[in-house]
Amino acid sequence: QIRATSIVCEPEAGWELEVRGTSAMLEDDAPFPDWDASLAFALKRRFCFRETALSDLGISDPDAIQFQLVVRMTTAGKLSSSVPVQLDLNGRLFQPIDVRISPEAGKLTRDMTLETVIAVTGTVGIVDPLVPTLLGSRVWEDRWRVRLEGGRARLPFEIFDFEAGYLGLGMANALFH
């Protein structure tokens, strides 16, 4: 595995939220400010590999292994998922990687989770049994979640006057009882 200190994420504690030209940092498990299902927004984050990333895996030649950065987005408690980002990192491993996601807000509900993975997509001439060589091997992972709506159930309710409706009078017309 690549150590957490070998990949620098900016912002460090979450993703940057961009709405109507303004930006704010959203930390993990924070509530989404002023959530609206018709809101147009983007999430941004930068990933930078340090030179120690390959040595964490026991590799000295950067051309001996290929990676892909994948971001999987889930919503509604993982009932719905998509993969908005798949980037091959070949030849640009030590360059900053900027990721921007613009989810369709109308398809999101309850929460949104972004799982970022760096996976092996190929190797050349690696014979060390301790080096990850299987295609799809996850060498680094990051998970970030934001709450879109409150965590309480949304039940229909009706104002009820106990004085006028005591003993069940007036309850026949109530939506929920």
Distance CA 99, CA 115 (A): 13
Given a cut of 90, whether residue 137 has pLDDT beyond it is yes
pLDDT of 35-84, one tens digit each? 888 899 999 999 999 989 999 999 988 889 999 999 999 998 888 999 99
Whether 72 and 115 have beta carbons less than 8 Å apart is answered as yes
Residue-averaged pLDDT of the chain:
87
pTM of the model: 0.81
Cα(15)–Cα(115) distance, rounded to whole angstroms? 12
Cα–Cα distance for residue pair 36/106, rounded to 1 Å: 8
Q: How far is CA 28 from the centre of its chain?
A: 9
